[in-house]
Structure formats: C-alpha cells, structure tokens
Amino acid sequence: MKGGKHLVVVLWLATIVSALAVVYSTQRSRELTAQLMQAQKARDELRYEQERLLLEKSAWSAYSRIERVAREELKMRVPSPAERVLVPAEHN
C-alpha cells in the first residue's frame, strides 16, 4: 500500500508540472504572437516608407525637373550655335 501512495503522489506532481508547462507554453505563445504582429506592422510601415521614397526619388530625378532647376535656379541655357565648339575625336 505504501508503494501505491508514492505512485499517487508522483502522478499528482506530474499532473501539476504538466499543467504548469501548458500555462507557460500558452503564455509564451501569446508573447511570441504579439512580437510577430509588431514585427509585421514594422515591416509594413517600412515597405510603405520605401515605396514613398522611391516615388519621391523618381520625382526628384525626373528630366523635366532637372531641366527646370537648371534653367530657373542655376540660370543655365542651351548654347547658341555660335557658342558651340566641336572637338574632333582622336583616332589612335
């Protein structure tokens, strides 16, 4: 009978340990799920920012904008035919 009491105590302790392990793994799973959701949100925000920056880059490098900045801000203009100088290519 003494061995039966020990078996019951061992089984009871195993049940308690198992229950605690389930609680721990459930809590850990919730924590990791929350971290995953935060990481996915950050990824989505970074993708949006990347797309916005690519559009901005395209706008800043558009040929018409470069031409306008050269003409208006830098006071550049296309040289007249009299101002053009042709440099002959060297043949080696």
pLDDT confidence of residue 92: 64
If one counts every other C-beta atom within 10 angstroms of the C-beta of residue 33, the result is 10
pLDDT confidence of residue 53: 94
* Cα distance between residue 46 and residue 27, in whole Å: 29
Residues lower than pLDDT 70 in the chain: 1, 92
pLDDT confidence of residue 40: 98
pLDDT confidence of residue 91: 72
| Overall pTM > 0.85 | no
* Cα distance between residue 9 and residue 20, in whole Å: 16
pLDDT confidence of residue 89: 86
